[in-house]
Amino acid sequence: MANLYAIYGASGCGRSLMPVAREHLARLNIQAEIYFIDDGLIESTVINGHTALNYQQFKALNSEHKFVLIAIASSSIREKLAHQLNADHIQLWSVQANNTLIMDAVETAAGAALSPFVTIGSNVIIGKCFHANLYSYVEHDCIIGDYVTFAPGVKCNGNIHIQDHAYIGAGAIIKQGTPDQPLIIGKGAIVGMGAVVTKNRPACVTVVANPARILQRT
């Protein structure tokens, strides 16, 4: 019985990751249809050449093993869906582009979406359902929490700890820490587009500008 694969989310994030998912399976010499899951659907349809179903329809498909990449921008929704998939015995699926560069001793938890031109440096630990968009990088000795999102072009330098549910905006730069004093981005923090972060930032704040300053607390 063939395995089934799906991308959960058929808006911009999911549609952008579908070509990455296709080449990921091709690289592994796996021939399989990849579905879209969209909970807004009542009946199945076709999106960019792929069958799109709601979650209940996908769950009803007959297969011994199902794998799902959650392509939802909201980290809280990603977490909720990850728990639902686990309860339904559906495995989180990680995909990476052919030109994603992953260096030595990298640990990546399930559900990662690594877009084209992403680089992960050596001795990096990455939590569940990490999204790294186009041209982002994570340098050596970083620890990335669960459900973290990098928009395109994020520059995360060495010895940085980013806690769960943080969002790093497009083109943001985070200054490197040191082995004994890593720079920390707190849980649920938002780093605005183009911000330059030069020191620790607490949980649940939004920071903007160069150098980054706190705009508001969430």
Catalytic residue positions, numbered: 140
Q: Which of 166, 176, 178 is nearest to 196 (CA)?
A: 176
CA pair distance 65, 88, nearest whole angstrom: 11
List CB contacts of 47: < 8 A, sequence separation 6 or more.
10, 15, 36, 38
Q: At 41, phi and psi to the nearest 5?
A: -85, 140
CA pair distance 142, 31, nearest whole angstrom: 35
- 137 - beta bridge partners? 119, 155
Strand order of the β-sheet with 149-150 is 95-96, 113-114, 131-132, 149-150, 167-168, 190-191, 205-208, 213-217
The residue to which tokens 């999102």 are assigned: 149
